[in-house]
Structure 1
Amino acid sequence: MNTILYGITGLLLAVSLYKDRKKTHKALKKAWKAFENILPEFLVVIVFVGVMLALVNPETISGLIGPESGAGGVVLSGLIGAVTLIPGFVAFPTASMLLESGAGYMQIGAFVSSLMMVGVVTIPVEVKYFGKKVTVARNGLALVFSFVVAVIIGAVMQ
C-alpha cells in the first residue's frame, strides 16, 4: 500500500514540476521547513516510546492495557491519552507499537481518540479563549466520546 502512495505522490510531484517548476520548488522548500520544525518533537516522542517499550515488557503492557484489561484498561488508556500532548503523526505510530506489544484495540482506540480530542494540558489556553464552561463541556464530551469510539472499535475488531 505504501508503495502505491509513494508512486502516486511521485507522479503528482512530476505533474506539478511540469506545470510550474517555480511553485513546486517553493512548495518543496516550505514542506522541508515544516519537516525540520516537526522532526525534533517527532524524534523525542519516538525515542521516548522506544525506551518505554524496551523497559516495559509486553506482558506488563498487555496486563495494563491489553484486551483482557477490560474497562479498567480502557479508562486508563483514555486518561493517559487525555493528559498526553503529542501530535497525530506521532500518535498513530505509537499506537501501532503499543498494539504490537500487546495492547488491545479498545484500549488503543480510547488512547488515540482522547489524545486527539481531549486537551487537559491545553485547558488554561482554552479557558482564556472559550471560557470555563465551554472548555469543561467540550473536554468532558470529548472524553465520553473517546470511550464510545473505544466500544465501537472493540465491537468491530472482535
Structure 2
Amino acid sequence: MNNLLQATKKSAESFKKALPIMAGILMLISLINLFAENYYTKLFTGNIFIDPLIGAVAGSVAFGIPLTSYIVGGELLKQGVSLFAVTAFIMTWATVGIAMLPLEASFLGKKFAISRNIINFIFAIIIAILTVWTMGLF
C-alpha cells in the first residue's frame, strides 16, 4: 500500500511539472492551425518531390488525433492537393510532433526526441512517394 501511495505522489508531481508545458503546446497548436489551415492548398506545386516535402512539414507542425488527419487529408484532396503531399501530411501528422517536442524531450530525453522526429520525417517522405508511385495513383 505504501508503494502505491508513493507512486501516486510521483505521478502527480510529474503531471504537475508537465501541465504548463502541455498548456503552452495546446495554445501554440491552436494558433498554427488557425492561421495555416487556409493556406495549405496554395503551397503545393504538383511536383512529385516538393509536394511530399511541403506536406510533411505541414503535417509535422499540425497536430491532432490521427483520425482527424484522415478528414483533413480528404479535404485537401478535394481541393486539388496531390496524393503525394496528402500521404506525407497524414504520416507526419501521426508520427512527427514539432509542437510536442519539448514535452517529449523532457520525458524521453532531447537526443532521442529529436532523432525520432527526424527519422520519422525523412521516412514519411520516402514512404509517401513510394506508396503513391507503387500504387500508380499519381
TM-score (norm 2): 0.66
1:107 aligns with 2:82: no
Secondary structure of the corresponding residue to residue 103 of structure 2: helix
Letter in 2 for 1:107: A
The runs of at least 4 consecutive aligned structure 1 residues that moved more than 3 Å come to none
Conserved? CA contact 2:62–2:93, under 8 Å: yes
After TM superposition, list the pairs within 5 Å mapping 1:6-155 onto structure 2: 52=38, 61=41, 64-65=43-44, 68-155=46-133
Structure showing greater relative contact order (alpha-carbon pairs closer than 8 Å, 6 or more residues apart): 2
> How far off its partner does 1:89 sit?
1.7
Whichever of the two has the greater Rg, that structure is 1
Instruction: Structure 1: state its 5+ residue gaps.
Output: 1-43
Identity rate, percent: 19
Secondary structure of the corresponding residue to residue 70 of structure 1: coil
RMSD: 2.3
Distance in 1 separating the partners of 2:43 and 2:132: 16
Secondary structure of the corresponding residue to residue 97 of structure 2: coil
Conserved? CA contact 2:84–2:128, under 8 Å: yes
Secondary structure of the corresponding residue to residue 63 of structure 2: coil
Instruction: Structure 2: state its 5+ residue gaps.
Output: 1-29
Distance in 2 separating the partners of 1:69 and 1:151: 11
> How far off its partner does 1:117 sit?
0.3
Distance in 1 separating the partners of 2:122 and 2:59: 13
Aligned length: 103
> How far off its partner does 1:86 sit?
1.6
